Chains A and B, each alone.
Chain A
Amino acid sequence: MSGAPVSADLDRWAWLPAPLRPRAGEHPGSGRTRLIETTLLVLAGMLLALATINDVVRQTHTNQRLIADLRTWRSYTGHPYHNLSIEQELFGINSHREVVCGNTSPGGPKARVQLCLAIAGPPRGPLRTVQGGWYLPPRSEDFRADRYACFGPAARGMCGR
C-alpha cells in the first residue's frame, strides 16, 4: 500500500552498524526524540507567537501615530486634504518622527507646492507636535536638493538650498 520496504530491502543494509541502519517504521523507543522535538516546536511556536503579537502592537502604535500625523498636518495647514504622503524613515526607523507632505492648494497628488511637516512626540489628544518643516516645488519628491524655506528645530540642516 504505502510502498514500505519489505525486510529483504532492509537486509541490504545489514552491513551498517545497528544505529545507522534504516528502519521500515518508527521504533517504539523513539518517544524521547519526539519529546525533544515537541519541546523545541512549542518553544519555536511561542517565539513566533510572541513576535507576531509584538509586531501587531508595534504596527497598531504606528497606525495610531499616523492617524495623529494626518490630523496634525490638516490642523496645522487648515487644509482638509486626504492625499498626503508620510515618510517614516527620514529621521531613523526607530525615531518615531514622521514627515507628512501635502499640497498647499487644491490639486492632484504632488501637483502643487508641497508643505512637509516633521511631526514628533506622543499624541496629545488627537494631535502630535510639529517640530519643523520645509516646502517642495510641484511634482517633486522629498529630496534634500529640492527642499526650501526650512523652519523649526527638526528641519535644521535638512534644506539643500
Chain B
Amino acid sequence: MSVAAQGVRGVGRSRSEWLTPALASLLALALVAATSVIVLDGATGHSALIPRSPQIAGWLKGIGGRLGYAVFLWAILAMAGAYALLLTLLSRSRAAPSRRRLALLLLVALHAIVFVGPILLSTDVFSYIAYARMGVVHGINPYVHGPAAIAHDPIYRWVGISWRRVATAYGPLYTLLSYPLAPLGVVGALWAMKLEALLASAGTLALTWRCARARGLDPVWAIVAVGANPLYVIYALGGAHNDLIMLAAMMLAVSVSLLGRSSSRNDALAGAAVIAGALVKATMAALLPFMILSKRRLGPVLGALAALAIGLLIGFLAFGIHGIDVVAALNRDAAFVSTDSFPNEIAHLFGKPGVFPVDHDLLKASLVLIVVHLMWRTWRGYDWIAASGWTLLAISVTSTWLLAWYILWPLPLAVISRDRRLLAATLVVQALFVIHQTSPLLAPVQ
C-alpha cells in the first residue's frame, strides 16, 4: 500500500473517530432537548396532555408555554428520529471509548428531567395512590371498591373519571408495596411514586446491561435502546407507571436465569422472580412456561409454586378472595377497547365501527395459537427469552386495550434476545403507535 493511500485511510479513520462521537452527542442532545420541551411545557399546565394534578412542578412554570398537541407530537417525532439514528451510530462504533460515558450521561439526564417534571399523559398514578389510601387511611378493600368509595379523600379529585368506580386490577404485591406511601399525603405519595418508577427504571437498565453482557451483546447499545426509547421516557417514566416495576422484576428473573451457574437454586429463584413480577402485573406470568420449557427441570416450577403459594396466602390474608382473583380482573380489562389498539384500527380498515364481541374471541384464539407455537419452538431449542418477548408483543398487539406503556413490555427482552426479528418487530409496532397519534398534526382541531 502506498504512503498516500495509508494517509487517506488514516485521515478517514481519524475523521470518523471524532465525527461519530460528535454526531452521537448531537443526537443525545436532541433527545434531551425534546424531553425538556415536553416537561417544561407540561409544567405550565392547562393542557389536554397533562392530567390535572397537585402542583408538584410549579417551580418549572413560566419557562415553557402551554403544551399543545403539535408541540408534543413534533417533540415525540424528533425523539423517535434521534433515537433511531443514535442506535444506528452506536451499533457501528462499538470500539469508541466515549460511548459508555455518553450513554450513561444521556440516560441520567433523561431520567432526571422527567423526574422533576409533572405527571405526563396519564392519571394512573393517582389511581395507584387512591387504592393505597383506600386500604391504609380508610380501611376499604381496593379489590372490592373503586376510588369512588373515598370521594371525600383529597386524592379523589385527581383520579381519572373513567376509573373512579373501578377496583384495582394490579397484583397484591404491588398494592402492598404502595401501602407504605399512603400516609405521606397526596403530594408526598406522588413524589414517592415517581421515585419508585425512577428506581425501577434504573434497576431495569442495570439488569439489562448485565444480561446483554452475559449474552455477549453490546450492553451500551442495549441500555440506550431501552432507556432512551421515547415511549419509555415520556409515557412510562413520565406517567410513573407501575409497569416499570414489572419490567424490573422481569429482568431480575432473566438475569438470575442467565448469570448464575445453572443450579436448581438459581432456577427456583428465577421462577420465583417471575411470579413476583406477576404479583405486580399479571401479564408477566407469560414468561413462566417458556422458562420451564427451556430449563426442563423442576427448579423453576418449584420456585414459582413456592412464590405463588406465599404470594396468594399474603394476598388472601390482606385482601380476601378478591385480592387473588386475577382472572376476574383480567377478564374485565380484556373487554375494554382503546382507540389506539390495533384490533380497533383493523376493524376500521374493514369498515366496521369498532371491535365486536366475536372479535375478542378471535383475538384470544390467535393469541393461544401464537403462544402454543412459541412453546413448541422453545421445547425444540428456540431462545426462551425471545419467545417470552414475542408473547408479550403478541399480547399487546392483540389486546383491544392498548396503551403506550404496554408495547414497552417486550423491549428489554428484545434487546438481549438472540432473535433480532423481535427487536425489529417491537420497534415497528412502537413506530406505528406513534404514527397513529399524528392526525392532530394533519388537521388540528381548535
- Interface residues of chain A, those whose CB is within 8 Å of chain B, are 1-5, 9, 12-13, 22-27, 30, 33, 37-38, 41, 45, 47-56, 58-61, 63-64, 66-67, 70, 82, 93-94
Residues in B whose Cβ lies below 8 Å from that of A24: 381
A13-B293 Cα distance, complex, nearest whole Å: 13
Residues in A whose Cβ lies below 8 Å from that of B351: 94
Residues in A whose Cβ lies below 8 Å from that of B348: 51, 54-55, 58
Using A2-B214, A63-B445 as known contacts, say yes or no to A51 and B345 having CB atoms under 8 A apart: yes
Using A3-B258, A56-B442, A67-B446 as known contacts, say yes or no to A41 and B421 having CB atoms under 8 A apart: yes
Q: Is B88 part of the binding interface, using a Cβ–Cβ cutoff of 8 Å?
A: no
Using A1-B258, A67-B446 as known contacts, say yes or no to A9 and B435 having CB atoms under 8 A apart: no
Residues in B whose Cβ lies below 8 Å from that of A2: 214-215, 257-258, 262
- Whether the Cβ atoms of B346 and A47 lie closer than 8 Å is yes
* Given A3-B260, A48-B346: 7 more A-B contacts, CB < 8 Å: A1-B259, A2-B214, A4-B262, A12-B296, A22-B380, A63-B440, A94-B353
Using A5-B295, A45-B425 as known contacts, say yes or no to A51 and B381 having CB atoms under 8 A apart: no
**How far apart are A81's CB and chain B's nearest CB, in angstroms?**
12
Q: Is B191 part of the binding interface, using a Cβ–Cβ cutoff of 8 Å?
A: no
**How far apart are B183's CB and chain A's nearest CB, in angstroms?**
38
A53-B262 Cα distance, complex, nearest whole Å: 47
Using A9-B296, A52-B345, A55-B436 as known contacts, say yes or no to A45 and B428 having CB atoms under 8 A apart: yes
- Whether the Cβ atoms of B443 and A27 lie closer than 8 Å is no
Residues in A whose Cβ lies below 8 Å from that of B440: 63
Q: Is B16 part of the binding interface, using a Cβ–Cβ cutoff of 8 Å?
A: no
Q: Is B429 part of the binding interface, using a Cβ–Cβ cutoff of 8 Å?
A: yes
Among candidates B260, B296, B346, B439, residue contacting A51 with C-beta atoms closer than 8 Å: B346
A54-B440 Cα distance, complex, nearest whole Å: 15
Residues in A whose Cβ lies below 8 Å from that of B397: 48
- Interface residues of chain B, those whose CB is within 8 Å of chain A, are 214-215, 257-260, 262, 266-267, 293-297, 342, 345-346, 348-349, 351, 353-354, 377, 379-383, 397, 421, 425, 428-429, 432, 435-436, 438-440, 442-446
A153-B434 Cα distance, complex, nearest whole Å: 41
Residues in A whose Cβ lies below 8 Å from that of B382: 26
Residues in B whose Cβ lies below 8 Å from that of A67: 443-446
Main secondary structure of the interface of A (DSSP, over half): helix
With both beta carbons as reference points, the residue of chain A lying nearest to B438 in the complex is identified as A56
Residues in B whose Cβ lies below 8 Å from that of A47: 346
- Whether the Cβ atoms of B267 and A48 lie closer than 8 Å is no
- Whether the Cβ atoms of B345 and A26 lie closer than 8 Å is no
A64-B441 Cα distance, complex, nearest whole Å: 11
22 contacts between A and B (CB under 8 A): A3-B260, A12-B296, A23-B380, A24-B381, A33-B377, A51-B342, A51-B345, A51-B348, A52-B345, A55-B348, A55-B436, A56-B435, A56-B438, A58-B348, A60-B443, A61-B443, A63-B444, A64-B443, A66-B445, A67-B446, A70-B445, A93-B353
Residues in A whose Cβ lies below 8 Å from that of B425: 41, 45
- Whether the Cβ atoms of A5 and B258 lie closer than 8 Å is no
A46-B445 Cα distance, complex, nearest whole Å: 30
Among candidates A27, A53, A63, A64, residue contacting B381 with C-beta atoms closer than 8 Å: A27
With both beta carbons as reference points, the residue of chain A lying nearest to B394 in the complex is identified as A44
- Whether the Cβ atoms of B380 and A48 lie closer than 8 Å is no
Residues in B whose Cβ lies below 8 Å from that of A61: 443
Among candidates A5, A37, A54, A63, residue contacting B345 with C-beta atoms closer than 8 Å: A54
Using A26-B382, A47-B346 as known contacts, say yes or no to A53 and B435 having CB atoms under 8 A apart: yes
- Whether the Cβ atoms of B380 and A54 lie closer than 8 Å is no
- Whether the Cβ atoms of A23 and B258 lie closer than 8 Å is no
- Whether the Cβ atoms of A5 and B296 lie closer than 8 Å is yes
Using A22-B296, A49-B432, A63-B444 as known contacts, say yes or no to A56 and B439 having CB atoms under 8 A apart: yes
Using A41-B425, A63-B443 as known contacts, say yes or no to A55 and B379 having CB atoms under 8 A apart: no
- Whether the Cβ atoms of A54 and B258 lie closer than 8 Å is no
**How far apart are A146's CB and chain B's nearest CB, in angstroms?**
22
With both beta carbons as reference points, the residue of chain A lying nearest to B257 in the complex is identified as A3
A53-B435 Cα distance, complex, nearest whole Å: 8
A1-B261 Cα distance, complex, nearest whole Å: 6
Using A26-B382, A59-B439 as known contacts, say yes or no to A1 and B421 having CB atoms under 8 A apart: no
Residues in B whose Cβ lies below 8 Å from that of A25: 381
Residues in A whose Cβ lies below 8 Å from that of B293: 22
Among candidates B260, B381, B442, residue contacting A23 with C-beta atoms closer than 8 Å: B381
A61-B425 Cα distance, complex, nearest whole Å: 29
With both beta carbons as reference points, the residue of chain B lying nearest to A56 in the complex is identified as B439
A27-B381 Cα distance, complex, nearest whole Å: 7
- Whether the Cβ atoms of B432 and A52 lie closer than 8 Å is yes
Among candidates A5, A50, A60, residue contacting B349 with C-beta atoms closer than 8 Å: A50
**How far apart are A152's CB and chain B's nearest CB, in angstroms?**
25
